[in-house]
Amino acid sequence: MSFWQRLFGLSRPTETPSGNRGVAHSADAPPKHDVVRARDPSPRTPAVSVPRELMDVITRNDLFNEGDLVAKATKEIRESGAPGSEALAALISQLLKCRNAKLSWALVAAKEARNTPQLQTSIEAILTSSPVCQGNPGRFPPEILGGGKIGLTDGTWANIQDLARKALEKLHEGPEPVLTNRSQQKGENERHTSPLPEDNPIAYAIARFGSKLTEAANIAGNVTSADNGRSALLQVARILAGEPGQEQIVATLRTASQQLGDDAVIQFCQNTARSLLNQAEGLAGSLRNMGAL
């Protein structure tokens, strides 16, 4: 565990849950609702499913009260806490992969869900994806299909991206992401017992920024694929946004997430992680020299 991890109890982010694949339901028959689940790390806790009302809206085309059903499902997701948000994140990832137009309803629910790393990552992936991709119909039917490709129309995609941006803004207005595994919870407990230099405003500001750099470096350093890398770059940009002197790097990260090729984006993430860690180590040295630790 690094210096900043010991000081602030930081832990590595978890991967976005992929969800379970199942059989698509017809519009004429009520769907089964044991399909999209989030598994809690503790075996003593049962799996949490996406509420029936939201699955009805997504899998059926004979409903006329979608708004009321989504509102009810949203309340249930919110009350179920982090497990409910993880189940919703899995559903969002599946709907995006299938290029299903009902993704918009899942994003409406996401705006009021508890903030978790999984939910943020699943929504950020929408902003770095394209409306059409190579593939065959999956569990949820795509809006358009042909030539070995599946996709969404331009109008639907524009609406979905707008909803994704609004959902992220709403999540960022709330409390920090909920920690959802044992290692993260252990780090959170350590955070409240770590000796933070709060009596020295300058040292505290340095320590706070150092913790952000380390968190961002962990995210960039754990990238395993191009899609994951693009999402990670947006997460890092969000973490550093608003910090003095970071405007250029934030702009560069956002541009890289959109313009770099698959191999280049992975390499860029690795370089970014090293650079951020070097900055964090330099700040740690400054704190020691100041006698703050």
Pairwise CA distance, residues 82 & 105, whole Å? 19
Q: What is the pLDDT of residues 21-46, one digit of tens each?
A: 333 333 344 444 444 444 433 333 33
Interaxial angle between packed helices 226-240 and 262-290, expressed in degrees from 0 to 180 and rounded to the nearest 10: 30
Interaxial angle between packed helices 117-127 and 103-110, expressed in degrees from 0 to 180 and rounded to the nearest 10: 140
Q: What is the pLDDT of residues 154-201, one digit of tens each?
A: 889 999 999 998 888 888 775 544 444 444 444 444 443 334 444 566
Work out the widest C-alpha separation in the chain, in whole angstroms.
Answer: 70
Please report, for residues 57, 60, 124, 134, the alpha-carbon distance to residue 102 in angstroms, rounded to integers and kept in the order given. 8, 10, 17, 19
Q: Supply the pLDDT for residue 182.
A: 43
Pairwise CA distance, residues 78 & 55, whole Å? 16
Q: Report helix, strand or coil for 86.
A: helix
Q: Supply the pLDDT for residue 199.
A: 56
Pairwise CA distance, residues 149 & 14, whole Å? 30
Q: What is the pLDDT of residues 193-243, one digit of tens each?
A: 334 444 566 777 777 788 888 888 888 888 888 888 888 899 888 888 877
For residue 292, name the pLDDT band (cuts at 50, 70, 90): low
Tokens 């059989």 belong to residue: 23
pTM score: 0.49
Q: What is the pLDDT of residues 41-77, one digit of tens each?
A: 333 333 468 899 999 999 988 888 888 899 999 999 9
Q: Supply the pLDDT for residue 131.
A: 92
Q: Supply the pLDDT for residue 54.
A: 93
Q: What is the pLDDT of residues 82-94, one digit of tens each?
A: 899 999 999 999 9
